[in-house]
């Protein structure tokens, strides 16, 4: 069910975020993320006028990860930025994400490497949401790989959200072995 209808308002800004995750022939994974900001009106920038509905930000971040979700490479692209020649020079710094694990300590690692002016606030924001998208693939892949085998380790998704807390009713029903474990 969508939000209830609202009246008396006018759209001014749209931010679109898209995340796609691909398996690769070389057994690595690409996590492709894109953030696009548009305004419904013309915007005056230092480089000239940006027409309405043209991206003020169009940013790409690709994390290349191994089967354990460890980042082995990073690619970035900044197709639209408000301060060309200034915003876009930070893109290569995102190679500092190499070595992090998308599912373990990733958000903290991003904050440590790119606090305040050490990175692009938009790429940082985009990167911070990647773990919850990655778990949509990696949790199901691990489950598929271990189908029919007893599960030795607590599934990653447990105790990472309200519904899947080990002391909650959903875990008691769907993951009884792990119910009430911490």
Whether pLDDT at 32 is above 60: yes
pTM above 0.75, yes or no: yes
Query: Position of tokens 């769907």?
Result: 174
Q: In this predicted structure, which of 4-13, 49-58, 154-163 has the lowest mean pLDDT?
A: 154-163
The mean pLDDT value of the chain amounts to 91
Q: In this predicted structure, which of 31-35, 88-92, 134-138 has the lowest mean pLDDT?
A: 134-138
Buried b (16+ CB within 10 A) or exposed e, 123-142: bbebbeebbebbbebbbeeb
**pLDDT score of 156:** 73
Taking the C-alpha atoms of residue 176 and residue 166, their distance in angstroms, rounded to an integer, is: 9
Nearest one of 99, 98, 94, 95 to 119, comparing CA atoms: 94
Q: Which comes out higher in pLDDT, residue 149 or 153?
A: 153
**pLDDT score of 104:** 93
Average pLDDT (47-55) is 93
């Amino acid at each position: 069910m969508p939000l209830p209808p609202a009246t008396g308002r006018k759209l001014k800004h749209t931010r679109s975020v898209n995340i796609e995750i691909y398996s690769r022939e070389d057994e690595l994974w690409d996590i492709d993320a894109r953030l696009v900001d548009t305004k419904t009106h013309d915007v005056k920038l230092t480089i000239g006028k940006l027409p309405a509905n043209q991206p003020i930000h169009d940013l790409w971040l690709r994390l290349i990860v191994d089967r354990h979700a460890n980042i082995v490479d990073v690619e970035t692209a900044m197709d639209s930025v408000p301060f060309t020649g200034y915003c876009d020079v930070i893109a290569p710094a995102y190679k500092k994400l190499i070595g992090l694990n998308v599912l373990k300590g990733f958000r903290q690692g991003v904050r440590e490497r790119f606090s305040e002016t050490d990175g692009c606030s938009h790429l940082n924001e985009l990167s911070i949401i990647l773990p919850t998208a990655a778990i949509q693939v990696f949790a199901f892949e691990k489950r598929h790989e271990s189908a029919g085998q007893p599960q030795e380790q607590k599934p990653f998704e447990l105790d990472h959200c309200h519904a899947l807390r080990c002391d909650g009713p959903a875990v008691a029903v769907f993951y009884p072995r792990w119910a009430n474990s911490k």
